[in-house]
Structure 1
Amino acid sequence: MLKRILLSLCCLFSGVGLANQRAPEAWQWLEQGAVLIDVRTLEEFQQGHLEGATLIPYQQIVAGAQQLGLKEDQAVVVYCRSGRRSGIAQQLLEQAGFSKVHNGGGLQEMQLAQP
């Protein structure tokens, strides 16, 4: 947690937003086997989503992750439209005991950073 706070402060003071780093890191997690979850609405998901993503609206994220059979130590990447809802989903999962959750940010951000 302290490391994340320090990284955020460094990015803030250097003029580089954390958003510029979260999507590339998300792709690293995915390359290592993380589960990809889109936390937007069904309508947004139907309009376009990342290949391999599972839809679980952020309000249902904990129950949905449990229904998927995800283990608390399974690596998970969440994304939405802007990163706000995925941030909430990350917090909810972490509060529920999931220890490896990464907020990939927004769909467009993820698409632009895709290797």
Structure 2
Amino acid sequence: MNNWSVNYRVNSNASHVEERFSRGFELTAKTGLSVHTIRFYEKEGILDSRHVQREENRYRRYSDDAVERLNFVKTFQGIGCSLAELKEILQDHVANSRTDLEILELIRPCV
């Protein structure tokens, strides 16, 4: 194990899933977002405990899902969606409460 990443094992119903966590500066390199912007999204609830883990020394570790989530955010903000619209889209995406077509209809006014 090096100083830049750590493998994290999650036990879920007796199956093991290995997930890679990165430090903030690695996440900025992968997403093109500043640390300030990433922390803003964390405070706004865009990134949650599935995406961010705290070490004993209070350093943040970000999962690969955080990279995917932030790239998703950049895409939708790039087409003009507001933060409120984005939160709604992300909630629907996680809950699978809308079809892809319904989500497209929701973002159509953004475009």
Q: Which has the larger radius of gyration?
A: 2
Structure number with higher relative contact order (C-alpha < 8 Å, ≥ 6 residues apart)? 1
Q: TM-score range by the shorter chain?
A: under 0.3
Greater share of strand residues, 1 or 2? Answer: 2
Q: TM-score if structure 1 supplies the norm length?
A: 0.25
